[in-house]
Amino acid sequence: MSAFKIKKGDKVVVLAGRDKGKRGEVIEIRPKEHRALVRGVNMVRRHQRQSASQEGGIISKEGPIDLSNLAIEDPKDGKPSRVGFKVLEDGKKVRIAKRSGEQIPEKN
């Protein structure tokens, strides 16, 4: 399976669905499902049974959203952009935003 162009910690824009236009940070990537969890996007309500550590009730949490419905936020102007790759002079491979050519900062 090839590596995904969207990684944990990236700022993304939702392209399709009920949350179209919303922005958020990627919390988790699920490669086998081809989905991601984005903070504040695709909120779902779940019934939670009470336990010793957590109280019960109806809680809201993020649901997974398909990677095809997400685009990286351009570091320059914040608009959605496709992702490309570029090899620097020192041989390091980095991700770039196709829209502006800006390098996408790594969140390590």
Contact 83, 74 (CB under 8 A): no
* 21 falls within a domain: yes
Q: Which tokens in the block code for residue 12?
A: 């993304």
- Domain presence at residue 2: no
pLDDT in tens, the chain (108 residues): 457 899 999 999 999 999 999 999 999 999 999 999 999 999 999 999 999 988 889 999 999 999 999 999 999 998 999 999 999 999 999 999 999 989 998 876
Q: Is residue 22 part of a domain?
A: yes
Is 100 within a domain?
Answer: no
Q: Is residue 1 part of a domain?
A: no
Check which CATH number belongs to the domain holding 13 and give it. Answer: 2.30.30.30
Report if residue 53 sits inside a domain: yes
Residue span of the structural domain in which 29 resides: 8-95
Residue in this structure with the two tokens 């700022």, named with its chain if needed: 11
Q: What is the pTM of this model?
A: 0.83
If one counts the domains in the chain, the total is 1
